[in-house]
Amino acid sequence: MLRLIYTLLFTLALPIIVVRLWLRGSKLPAYRARIGERFGVIPQLEKKHKQTIWFHTVSVGEFIAASQLINALLETNQYDIVVTTTTPTGSEQVSKKFGARVYHVYAPYDIPFLINRFLNKTAPSLAVFMETELWPNTLRQCHKHAIPTLLANGRLSAKSAKGYAKFSNLTKPMLHNLSFAAIQNPTDAERFYRLGLAQKSSEVTGSIKFDIAIDATLAERAAQLKGEYSLEGKRKILIAASTHRGEDEIILDAFHKLLERDNSLLLLLVPRHPDRFNNVAQLCTTRGFNIVTRSSQQAPSAQTHIVLGDTMGELMLMYGAADIAFVGGSFVANGGHNYLEPAVWGLPIVSGPSQFNFATIAQALTQAASLYTVHSADELADQVDGLFANTAIAQQAGLTGKRFVSENQGATQKHLDIIQRLLSNAP
């Protein structure tokens, strides 16, 4: 009954959702394009006598994690891959990474007849959902179509678990319709079990995000960029990555204090969402900072205070050009972002207190003295200044974090093994 009420409310909300898309399109015109795809109005997938695997990703981070699995599956030349996203940013990343090698459209809304239309057009043999992207009707319709479903790189924060528990009559049947869950850690697994997931339908695999590889080309590009930005080692570089609304002011306050102690410092400021690039640039200039944008390809001079990362898909490159990393989404109640990306570069990491999206990883990195939690602009300035002043501690923090990433790799292969098992039982 609760699922029917959910479906009715979702259906009634569709006009509002479309209007909201149109309004968002005033800033990002891509939101006004391909709206039909969100209603399952898509071309028929051309079948090539291969099994089809559908990957649904929402955030760029989820797509990056999924791309490791997708790459491995494409290399076998045995599968057609369908990738859905919900945002133009995600869509852009899929096209940039895979082009015509995958079939990409926006995901349909979680309403039965829209899901059925999508499934009939794509006919997947397996549906893979990343991290926490579980939708009641999507899982129900996959179950009715005898399509096995996998939650990959599954995670469930205490906050999310509490929210799901409030709607247990909707959550429990949804989890029963899920064929299998590959979960990042035992703590998150226990949360899923308490909500109704059967233990026999799950495996703790670790996180795919540990399986980060810095290839020689990326390492070389990062070294060149660091040389250019640091004026061949004359400047130290702090990156503030994936920042959200409300954080940039705190970071700029801290950076102002840091410049009072060392006016040669350079800040790489990378907002999380592209629709904020212009606003953040204006904020920086209003605060009196000299900036250049990454998109301009202009080299910063000795008088440049900030390089604004206003491009997509270059965060790993920019991490490689930095000396210390602040990871955003942590001074606001967003739960933080991927701490493993700066860790794999051997960077000491600083974070705000909101870390629930990566709680287990944040705790481990903190215990390893690789991640430092701060609560204000003053604390951020003091922590970064201390790390710049004590290079031995900073280097050890980076090395320990890098070792932590290396020791926890291997989840990708475990996921591939699970995918093979599910496909072998698919109709």
Q: How many Cβ atoms sit within 10 Å of the Cβ of residue 107? A: 23
d(CA 229, CA 307): 9
- Nearest CA-CA partner of 187 in 358, 400, 352: 358
d(CA 352, CA 364): 16
d(CA 403, CA 33): 44
The gap between the terminal CA atoms of the chain, to the nearest Å, is 29
d(CA 98, CA 72): 12
d(CA 206, CA 201): 16
The first and second tokens of residue 58, run together, are 């929402």
d(CA 38, CA 48): 25
Q: What single-letter amino acid sits at 7?
A: T
The kind and range of the H/E element at 209 are none
d(CA 395, CA 66): 31
Burial 343-375 (b: 16+ CB within 10 A, else e): bbbbbbbbbbebbbbbbbbbebbbebebbbbbe
| Half-sphere exposure for 406 (CA within 13 Å, toward CB) | 9
Catalytic residue among 62, 131, 133, 247: 62
d(CA 353, CA 372): 10
The kind and range of the H/E element at 409 are none
The three-class DSSP label of residue 140 is: helix
Active site residue 62: yes
d(CA 48, CA 77): 11
Q: 269 phi and psi, to 5 degrees?
A: -110, 115
Alpha-helix residue ranges (DSSP H) falling in 2-156: 2-24, 60-76, 88-98, 112-122, 136-144
Give catalytic residues, as residue numbers.
Answer: 62
